[in-house]
Chain A
Amino acid sequence: MSQLAQLIPYLTPYEKPFYFIILGVLFIPSILLSLNGKRMMWYQNFLTIFFLWISFGGPNSKQGLALIAYMIWQTLLTAIYFKYRQKDNKSSVFYLAVLLNLLPMFIIKLSPFFGSQSILAFLGYSYLTFKSVQVVMEIRDGILKEFNIKYYIQFLIFFPTISSGPIDRYRRFLKDYLNPPDKEKYVELLQKGIHYIFLGLLYKFIIGYVLGSQLLPTVQGFALGGTAPVLGTIGYMYVYSFYLFFDFAGYSLFAVGTSYLLGYETPMNFNKPFISPNIKEFWNRWHITLSFWFRDYVYMRLMFTLLKKKVFKSRVVASNVGYFGLFLLMGLWHGLTWYYIVYGIYHALLICINDAWLRYKKKHKDKLPSNRWTHALAIFITFNAVCFSFLIFSGFLDTLIKQFILV
């Protein structure tokens, strides 16, 4: 057994090309079954356990324990809330359930302030939190009439998306879980899945790698080495933006492609974000599952409350407040540092400005030109505004400032 343990390559999801070699080999039985329109649940469970083991075992076994503890906590909490909700529906209990659901995440996010990494932390905890909060909210809304613990656990620990999304929805996942694709459908999924994985390899391991490991340190060196602080920082801004896209989009393609091979149509996360002509469009194309999650579970609910209770007279003010709430929360979710918070505020500002501009455009339709050139200009402005937001997001300015004041 210890001999065997020696051979297990511990890897976080999609960490290296080698992960795909293991994936390719172990998926063969499952693919052959699916091509015959079948799905063996026991084999999928074996795959889940195996791939979670190589990611959360060995050198990461502390995270593995944290994951198990987290799962127990969320499952119990959700089950209890479901039972309660069938009998009663107090707002206060709902808020408490959400708060308890978010508690592990709060503790983990706050732990750096108390000196160290929390023992509750594991790779992907915030993505699991998105999935589980969503379930609590749908129970509250009465959309979920049934709650099956087994399904719920399968939904949370679905391994292709466990560490960084895309963030699936419970009901969508359940549909695929309970209805395996037929032969015809699966051939299509298999083709797409393979294509996505290969595109992901190009994105993450070739383009993203060259950008991140070769180009990024070089421009960073120019900026921090005093050779060319301003130019270096501008260079860093663009290189980092592209690196972030190729790395994360590549990663998301892996997750989606791997899901397809198992017969699950996990939603896409990116759709050519850099051709967005305005910032709203950008958020519909960048980290899509996160934006939509925030739209459905934060912004809409907040707006509903604000308008129902008539907090603000004007819809415009209400929606602007809603945007600030949403993006501030999103910034905070990334981490409790000044640059994530500024990143959130900056995006909220961009969206509000964009809204104001659209209102202005509506009024002055006849006076404003609209052609290929204005469209190109819109893309150019949006792209640069977004790249600047990523410069804030990267934390590089923090490093730069810290170095600058050390005199």
Chain B
Amino acid sequence: MTLKKKIFFAVGPFAVAALFIVALLYSPLEFIKEPSEKKVHEAASSMSVNVLKGSEIKREAMESGKYLPFFGSSELSRVNPFHPSVLAKKYDRSYEPFLLGAPGTQSLTHFFMLNSVKKPLENKKVVFIISPQWFVKKGVSDPMYSLFYSPIETYEWLVDLDETDQTDQYIAGRLLEFESVKSDTQLKKMLLKVKNGEELSKADRRKAYYKYKRLKNEDLLFGQIGIVSKNKRIDKQATYLPNQYNFNELDALAYKIGQEKTNNNPFEISNGFYSNRIMPMKGKLKDSQKKFNYISSPEYADFEAFLELLAKNNIDAMFVIPPVNKLWSDYTGLSTEMLDDFSKKINYQLTSQGFNNIVDFTDKRGEKYFMEDTIHIGWRGWLEMDTQLQEFLKSDSKPDYKMNPELFFSKEWQTEQYK
């Protein structure tokens, strides 16, 4: 074979393959159907990484108007008869919860999730469960952020930027702290510009747009893989509930179930959690949380970015602040004063800017069977939250936000205690 022939045979098959891939990834993928209603319903309770990172399914869900987004983290996976998804199903509520969170998702991830569905959610309502445990000294950890880091939502945010404001500058600077973001040089270059308040050039925007388009097609192709719905579990849990909703009756039932499910330990922690998560480290945990502090954290500013997004799109939100099981915090030495200070600080950040629907459970730490385990809302907690939620959904008061980014993005606010 001559050299030309050799090169031709080396390059030929590859060129064909490359053309095919390019066609697949950049073409308008009209032939791929949008996620079916069934798929969206499965995704709503799945909390799967692909659902949280992708954009198609979420967008589809929010445009249908049937779903109420619940932003949160690990508590959402505690499916018992009083979980929001179970109550909504059993009592034929007008909404189905769409769980937007998983263990490890925090405000920054929520910011991008909300950003990708902000248009269909304009003037609508959402629920947001704030974990005090997010507000640690360094904020969200790199591996955790990287797990839920969504290139498609990040590029979508960039493509949509018109006038960069303080929030965008903050978000850009924050993103540059994560390895998974930094490894994309093109993105890094644009983020540096946004961070410094510079305009993105036409070339930047074009590049971002092409990348976004490719990611969108990828999402259509692969976004529905690995979704494990919790619907079977939800249906099973619903069978334990009486057919007619009656708060007192349900509260008594929640008490009873809580009692039964937490009888192998003195902390009112569910038996499974206790034997799997506490027993292996028993003794090591006593007084282990004396130094824990949720007062100084970049999370406060990440959270502010989420609030800014709500305000810009006139979205009404109900915020829930779960307590920490007092029997447990007494054992680990976690300071309840510090938790009270956390509650004060976050409440101020919310109410001073016009976010007034706050369900603060901080003082419910001693309530019987309110929690399922150490830091996760359980039987009576979910039920209590549901009552507040119905009120919130009924009310037709319009939000009136007065944002104060100067204060709440500042280093002082992130680090200092609110007096």
Residues of A within 8 A of B (CB): 6-7, 9-12, 15, 58-60, 187, 190-191, 194-195, 198, 201, 214, 217-218, 220-222, 224-227, 395-396, 398-399, 402-407
Contacts and interface: CB of A to CB of B under 8 A. Distances in A.
Contact of A195 (B10, B273, B375): B10
B14 A214 contact: no
Nearest to A220: B147
B3 A187 contact: yes
B296 to A, nearest CB: 15
A12 B179 CA distance: 14
Contacts of B53: 217
Contacts of B327: none
B115 interface: no
A399 B48 CA distance: 18
Given A218-B48, A399-B143, A194 B185 contact: no
Nearest to A403: B103
A9 B278 contact: no
A399 B141 contact: yes
Contacts of A6: 201, 203
B49 A10 contact: no
23 contacts: A7-B203, A12-B183, A194-B7, A194-B10, A198-B14, A214-B225, A217-B49, A217-B50, A220-B49, A220-B147, A221-B48, A221-B49, A221-B147, A224-B103, A225-B48, A225-B49, A225-B77, A225-B102, A399-B141, A399-B144, A407-B273, A407-B277, A407-B373
Secondary structure class of chain A's binding surface, majority of residues: helix
B283 interface: no
Contacts of A217: 49-50, 53, 147
A405 B328 CA distance: 13
Contacts of B27: none
A182 to B, nearest CB: 14
B208 to A, nearest CB: 13
B147 A227 contact: no
Nearest to B151: A213
A407 B374 contact: yes
A176 to B, nearest CB: 21
Interface in B116-163: 133, 141, 143-144, 147
Contacts of B147: 217, 220-221, 224
A187 B53 CA distance: 47
B175 to A, nearest CB: 13
Interface stretch (B186-194, B251-259, B302-310, B335-343): B186-194
A149 to B, nearest CB: 31
Given A214-B222, A217-B147, 7 more contacts: A10-B186, A194-B10, A198-B11, A217-B50, A225-B48, A226-B74, A407-B375
B232 interface: no
Contacts of A225: 47-49, 77, 102-103
Given A6-B203, A399-B143, A405 B281 contact: yes
Interface in B81-107: 102-104
Nearest to A206: B21
A221 B52 CA distance: 11
B23 interface: no
Given A217-B49, A407-B373, A407-B374, A11 B11 contact: no
A406 B77 CA distance: 16
Nearest to A10: B185
A15 B185 contact: yes
A112 to B, nearest CB: 11
Nearest to B277: A407
Contacts of B281: 405
A155 B77 CA distance: 55
B285 interface: yes
A407 B103 CA distance: 12
Given A191-B6, A195-B10, A218-B49, A11 B143 contact: no
Interface residues of B, number: 43
B393 interface: no
Contacts of A404: 277
B228 interface: yes
B242 interface: no
B11 to A, nearest CB: 7
B65 interface: no
Contact of B104 (A59, A190, A191, A403): A403
B48 A59 contact: no
Contact of B77 (A195, A201, A226, A402): A226
B10 A191 contact: yes
Contacts of B11: 194, 198
B226 interface: yes
A407 B278 contact: yes
Contacts of A395: 143
Nearest to B325: A407
Given A191-B10, A221-B226, A407 B285 contact: yes
Interface in B33-58: 47-50, 53
Nearest to A18: B186
Contacts of B203: 6-7
A396 B147 CA distance: 11
Nearest to A9: B186
A371 B184 CA distance: 49
Contacts of B6: 191
A221 B141 contact: no
A363 to B, nearest CB: 42
A12 B185 contact: yes
Nearest to B227: A218
B49 A59 contact: no
Nearest to A55: B185
B103 A226 contact: yes
A399 B104 CA distance: 10
Name which of A7, A190, A398, A407 has the most chain B CB atoms within 10 A of its CB: A407
B185 A60 contact: yes
A59 B278 contact: no
Interface string B181-224: 00111101100100000000101000000000000000000100
A357 B103 CA distance: 44
A226 B75 CA distance: 11
Contacts of A402: 141
B50 A58 contact: no
10 nearest A-B pairs in the assembled complex, by CB-CB distance: A221-B49, A218-B226, A59-B189, A407-B374, A217-B49, A59-B188, A399-B143, A10-B185, A194-B10, A225-B102
Given A10-B186, A224-B103, A225-B103, A198 B48 contact: no
Nearest to A195: B10
B347 to A, nearest CB: 23
A281 B47 CA distance: 43
B141 A59 contact: no
Interface string B280-310: 0100010000000000000000000000000
Contacts of A194: 7, 10-11
